[in-house]
Structures are given as structure tokens and as C-alpha cells.
Chain A
Amino acid sequence: MKRRLFLLIPLVLFVVLAVFLYRGLALDPSARDSSLLGQSFPSFTLSTLEDPERQVDESLLEGEVTLVNVWGEWCPTCKQEMPQLLALEKRGIRLVGVDYKDTREKGHEFLEKFGNPFEINVFDPEGTLGFDLGVYGAPETFLVDAEGIIRYHHTGYITPEDIEQTIMPEVEKWRAD
């Protein structure tokens, strides 16, 4: 009898996994709550990737419509996204990067390899800013208006189609405001 119970273990493990998978179905990883929309960008004080001595805070984002992109060297999707970010920069959009859960060395390596569309990069090795932003993976992009208020949130990588269909219209809309 004992041995039979023992043989049930795989089934029990599977049922537990299946319950989680079922819960997972209801949670869409790429469309999440936008509770931050309309809120001010969370306050932070972090150094920049470019200069470890220089501290920046949320006032960095005021004065101009800015796209804040959360990236990391460890994130393959971020590499795919870089051409689109470079294209956005070329179209005159101000981009600020958040180097998320990364090392300085790797971060620099990434920008050298894939190009640097960012005006400046906030270095967030512990993921504290990422946590306040509710980031759970990279890449994620936030559109912040000239008053420093989050207006749009894009989860996952920006495709070439997204540029035309969502990012540019959103930027134009909040610039006009």
C-alpha cells in the first residue's frame, strides 16, 4: 500500500503544475494592469550607466515627452527591439533607458553591440526602479509626458508595426497636449 502511495507522487506533482498552468492562462503576460497610467513616474535616485558619479531622479523626465525603455543585456528580446528604438530616436523622440538588473560592464557591452538610442541610461542593478514600475521582465516601455506623468505602457518588444500603429500616434497625441 505504501508503495502505491509512492507511485502517486508524479500524479500529484503534475496536478499542482496543471493548477498553476490554469491560473497562468488567466494571466496574460503581455497585457497587464495599467494602474500607473495617469500617475507620476515613481520617484527614484540612481546613478547613470554612463557616469557612476552622476545621480539622477525623476525630474530627468520633465520638460519633454520621453519614452522610458527598460532593458538589460541578459534579455534577448531587447536585442531584437534595438533597431526599432534606434529608428524612434532618428525620428526625434527622446529616449531614456533603464538598465535593469544588469552589471555596468554588460550594459556598456550591450550598447556598444546593438547601438545606443538613449539620451541617458539610468542604472538599476537591484531592480528597485523596475519594481516601482511594476516591471516583471524586459523589455517594457513607458511613455512619460512633459509633466512627468506616465501616459502609455508597452509590455514586450516594440515591433516595426507598433512604431506606426501605437508608439508614434501616442507620442504625437501627448506632444500636442
Chain B
Amino acid sequence: MLSKIIPELGHFALILALLMALVQAVVPMAGTLTRRPLWMAFAKPLASGQFLFLAIAYLCLTTSFLLDDFSVAYVANNSNSMLPWYYKTTAVWGSHEGSVLLWSLMLGGWGFAVSQCSSQLPRDMVARVLSVMGMVCVGFLLFVLITSNPFERLLPNMPQDGADLNPLLQDFGLVIHPPMLYMGYVGFSVVFAFAIAGLIGGRLDAAWTRWARPWTNLAWAFLTVGIALGSWWAYYELGWGGWWFWDPVENASLLPWLAGTALIHSLAVTEKRGSFKSWTLLLAITTFSLSLLGTFLVRSGVLTSVHAFANDPARGTFILVLLGLTVGLSLLVFALRAPRVSHSIGFTWLSRDALLLVNNILLVIMTVTVLLGTVYPLLLDALGLGKISVGPPYFNALFVPLTGLLCVFMGLGPSSRWKQMSGRELFKRLLGAGIASVVIAAVAPLVYGGQWNLWVSLGLVMALWIVLSLGRDLFDKVRNASSLGIGLRRLSPAYWGMVVGHLGLAVTIVGVTMVSNYNIERNVRLAPGESVEVAGYTFAMQGLRERRGPNFIADTATIDVSRNGEHRFTMQPEKRLYLARGMPMTDVALRPGLLRDLYVALGEDLGDGSWALRIQFKPFVRWLWLGALLMAAGGMLAVVDKRYRRVKRRAQQPVTSDTSGFKEAQA
């Protein structure tokens, strides 16, 4: 009965991974301090071994799910024999224990990736980076093994069947949302490790930023996709048609994203101009710290949220200690070792340097705004000043204007030069874009909605300003080339990454603006044979029938949708009852489109043969997520830039030893 010991094998593999992480945390770092190449060389094989054993542990848990091994408590609580096999594999991260295991696996995976792509990095740098990542991994694996062991058994009295996976999570969006999000969170551990390694080794030159940048972009791109997927999932799964709620858990993912966005931009300045060094390091530490803080907020139960995990005080305390040690120690290292005198490389107040500084300040203000709003109820409660809740009014009132301001500078940034820029020239370059965006934005609501709307115009002006000023910059760059093709090809992937990323934000802003202002929502009661008109579409209820799914029973309504008397398509919203938990769920019928979504949710049976229905017309809602995908694509595109590989080749030459690097940082 080999299958019976699979959970034990998984548990054992997890312990081995912890031991490897422990050695990886200590030996290579000690090697750099005592200059023993052999000790430093431990880093890479250990990173591979640690990843291997984490993968084995993860596969063991997946196998237990697939084999319906309900003697494993975690499987019994989150699966059921009726659950389709694909949800059994994703139920692994459906709750707390498994999701921290996935977190750890990804941490191991990033460490493995660094070790594989580091053949060109100086040996001591690799040793330090992997050692720091090993330390983080030790913390997380201790957390898993001590407080959240997914391999805990229910023996000898194992349940006959499992309690089933939460129906909210039985869905495609949830299959990919958490892994993407965790890839982002955990991915920031790489730049964090680079920052700590740089601080300890005193090596913070241009090469350092070039090593750190691709990893940062990659993690940021994953996080962007993860957040977008979460928003998309909430939109269609929760049945209210909302896409962002300023819920603590959402904020927890937005915080590292905002800090990470600032980091990407400040890394650009540090690489190109050698300035903002301490600031970049602080941002690198902050970004990863905020990822950890998010984990703490979500899993400790200190804040109430729609999707908080089951809480356990022991876990909260453990994560707080972990958070305190990681962040506290790294900030201490920062305070002690940050470059003492930053190279004061001059720039005037109108230059790309200055504009990127403004960008960073704004993004940090936005981060602090969201952080304060998220923890404010907690702070007041702790001070005994009463209990309040901070809702969307606070966030929207601060976040929207700040975003507007950010967009103004986003238009100026790409068109300006490093170091200094003549105001007149910048004005001349962008005047056309400015006028065009104001005019188009002013007219657009008249054309689209039939009447003028200030908010729509303001939103569109921001988006158009970003797009048109980018277009102008592209035009200036290409115009001197002998042909358009050559001109476009000469632009680097990093430049294209910036263009696509900024374009993505503009697309998202259009989506937010349009869906917030032109959303139409009707709550109606319909009996078979009746119909209702919403936004020019006629929704006719044809009838209802009962349908049996793999682990649920559903009432399915059939609704014919026509426009101008012409039948277009049929929509089938459902009300499902999940059998194992007896939990009712709304399964929304969606008709997505680039310019609008039709959204029908089936409500209550009103008794007399009619049903409550919520019908929504959501213009441009897809643009929200499309924009996010573009942003992520921009981040990825910048990673493939040749200069990151060129640098690696150059780094093969004898590298600066510890002391010279240290001097450089102190100079």
C-alpha cells in the first residue's frame, strides 16, 4: 500500500527541503565572509536540491488529493470524492496550508531560477543572493511545518468523504489567480535578496542594477496579471459585477504592486544615472516587506475581509515574528550599510531624473494612502480610540486624484531627457498631444453618451495624454531613420516595454472611466414568456430547467437576447446548490465584448413562477484587464532587452573583489 505513505513522504521531503534551506542560508554567506570559494559553491546545488524536495512535497500533496486520501486533514477539509479531477489538483492551494506550501515551492523555484541564470554573476554575489533567499525560505518552511502542516493526518478515524472545496473557488479564474499572485509576491524576494546582498557586499554599481532589473520586472509582471485575474474573478464569480472593492486583501496585493512600480522606475534611474541608490535599495526592501505584510494581514485574522483565511492566533504570531525579523533586520542592514554619500549627480528640475523622482514620490504617497486606509481601523482599535471602518469613499477620494497627477507626469517623462531639458522644447514637443487629448476627451462623452460628462472627460484626458505623448515620442525617435521599418527596429525592447506598459495603464484608465460612468444595472422580476429591455437589448425569459452538475444541482434560466427585433444570442444564468456544503451560488451568464459586457445574474425564486434577475450593461469593462495584461507584457518585454545579457558576458571578466567593491560604495 504505497499510496498510504505518500503524505509521509511529502512531509519528509518538506523537512529535507528545510534542512537544505538552512545550509543554503548559512554556508555560502559564511563562505563570503571567510573567503572560501568551496563554501560559496554550496549555494547553487543547494538551491536546486531545495527546489527538488519542495516539488516532491508538492506533488505528494497533489497525489493525495487525486487519490481522495481523506486521512490527510487538509484533503478532507478541501476536497470531496465528487469534485472533478482538475479542481482536485487546484484545491491544493484552495486553503491556507496548501497555499503556503505553494508559496514555498515558488520561493524555491525563484531561487533555482536565479542559480541557473547566474553563471555570469560574480561568485560572491551569487552566494550572498542565494543565501538571503535561503533565509527567507527557512522562515517560510518553519512556518509551514510548525503551524500549517498540510500533511497532518486524521488517523485512525478518517472521514468517509471530504467537506469539498469552497464552491467560490471551483472556477477557472481561481485556478490561475493565486499562483500568479504568489509568483509576483515571492518574485520580489529576488530583488530583495539582491538588495541585501548588495548592501552586505557593498557592491551597488550599474552592473548590480542590471542584474536586479529583469527579476524585478518579471515579478512585477506576474503580480500585475495576478491582481487583474483576481479582479476579473470577483467580477464574474461573486455575482455583483463589481471589479474592485478596496477590500483589505485586495489592498494587500496592491501595496507591493505600487511599491514595485516605483522600484522599476527608480532602478531605471539608478542604472542610467547612478543616482537614487539608497532610495532604490529601500524600495527593494519595502516591496518585498509589503508582500510579507500582505501575507500577515490576510492570514492572521487581524482584519476582517471577504476572503480572509481561517485564522489561528499561533499562525498570526509566527508570521509577525517572521515579518519582524525579515523586515527589521533588513532595514537595520540598510541603515548601517546604505551608501554613505550618494553621488550627487546633478540634474535640473526639468529632466527625466526629476520627473522620475516625482513619479516615485507620487507612487510612494499612493502606497502610504492605501496602507493607512487598510490598517487604520486596526491602529484606532489598538489605541482604544473606537472602531471605524474605512471604505471606498476614502480610497477613491485620494487614489483617483493621485492617479490623475501621476498621468500628467507620465506624459512628460518619456519625452524628456536625462539630466536637463529645455522647458520650451518640451512644451513644443507635447503641445499638440496636450491639445488633441483635451479636445478629443471633451467631445467623446457627447458622441458616446449623448451628453457631456465631466468625469468621463477627465478620465479620458488622462488616458489620451499618455497615449498621444507616447505617440509623439515614438514619432520623434523614428522620424530620422531612413525608413519606418529601420527606425522601429532600432528601438530597444526596453523602450518597447515602456511604451506597452504605459499604454496598458491608459487602456485600464479608459476601462475604469467608462464602466464607472456608463454602467447600467436593472433589477427585474421575470416569469417565463416575459421580457425586459436594458440598454437597447431585449432580454426574454424562455424558461427554467433543472440541471445536475458533477457536485451541484442548478436551476438554469434560458434567456434570449435580441436587439432591434433580431435574435442575437442566448444566455443561461444559473443558481447552483453545491451538495457537500449545501451552499447556494450564483453562476453569472456573461456575454463579453470589447466594447461592452452583458451580465445576467439569476437571483431568488419569487414563488409565483417568476425569478429575480439582475441585468447589467457594462461598457468597456474588458479594458480594465486588457490594460493590465498590456502592462504585464510591457514588463516582460523589457526583460528580453539585450543589454542584460551583454552585461552578463562582461561580468565574466575578473570581478571586483569584496574590498574594492566596498570602497566604491563608500566613495
Contact = CB atoms under 8 A, between A and B. Distances in A.
A25 B302 contact: yes
Interface stretch (B384-392, B431-439, B539-547): B384-392
B335 A7 contact: yes
Contacts of B345: none
Contacts, number: 116
A160 B304 contact: no
A76 to B, nearest CB: 4
A11 to B, nearest CB: 4
Given A18-B320, A74-B391, A10 B331 contact: yes
Main secondary structure of the interface of A (DSSP, over half): helix
Given A24-B381, A160-B582, A134 B523 contact: no
B614 interface: yes
A17 B303 CA distance: 15
Interface string A38-82: 000000000000000000000000000000000010111101100
A28 B328 contact: no
A28 B285 CA distance: 29
B614 A137 contact: no
Contacts of B173: none
A23 B306 contact: no
A29 B392 CA distance: 19
B389 A136 contact: yes
A83 interface: yes
B327 interface: yes
Nearest to A19: B382
A134 B387 contact: yes
A136 B390 CA distance: 10
B386 A136 contact: yes
Interface in B626-662: none
B316 interface: yes
B289 interface: yes
B328 to A, nearest CB: 6
Nearest to B327: A14
A83 B604 contact: yes
A76 B377 contact: no
Contact of B301 (A14, A28, A77, A135): A28
B406 interface: no
Interface in A15-40: 15, 17-18, 20-25, 27-30
A56 B582 CA distance: 39
Interface string B347-383: 0000000000000000000000000000101110110
B399 interface: no
B300 to A, nearest CB: 6
Contact of B604 (A72, A79, A86): A86
Interface residues of B, number: 56
A110 to B, nearest CB: 11
Contacts of B327: 14, 18
A8 interface: yes
B150 interface: no
Contact of B328 (A18, A23, A137): A18
B152 interface: no
Of the listed residues B286, B324, B389, the one surrounded by the most CB atoms of chain A closer than 10 A to its CB is: B389
Given A8-B335, A30-B304, A25 B379 contact: no
Contacts of B581: 161
A138 B379 CA distance: 18
Nearest to A25: B316
Interface in B520-549: 521, 523
B387 A83 contact: no
Nearest to A32: B387
Contacts of B377: 29, 136-137
A102 to B, nearest CB: 10
A18 B332 CA distance: 15
A136 B387 contact: yes
Contact of A18 (B278, B324, B336): B324
Interface stretch (B138-146, B153-161, B238-246, B505-513): B238-246
A20 B375 contact: yes
A134 B323 CA distance: 32
Interface of A: 3-4, 7-8, 10-11, 14-15, 17-18, 20-25, 27-30, 72, 74-77, 79-80, 83, 86, 112-113, 115, 131, 134-138, 156, 160-161
11 contacts: A7-B335, A7-B338, A11-B331, A18-B328, A20-B378, A24-B300, A76-B245, A112-B523, A113-B523, A115-B612, A136-B377
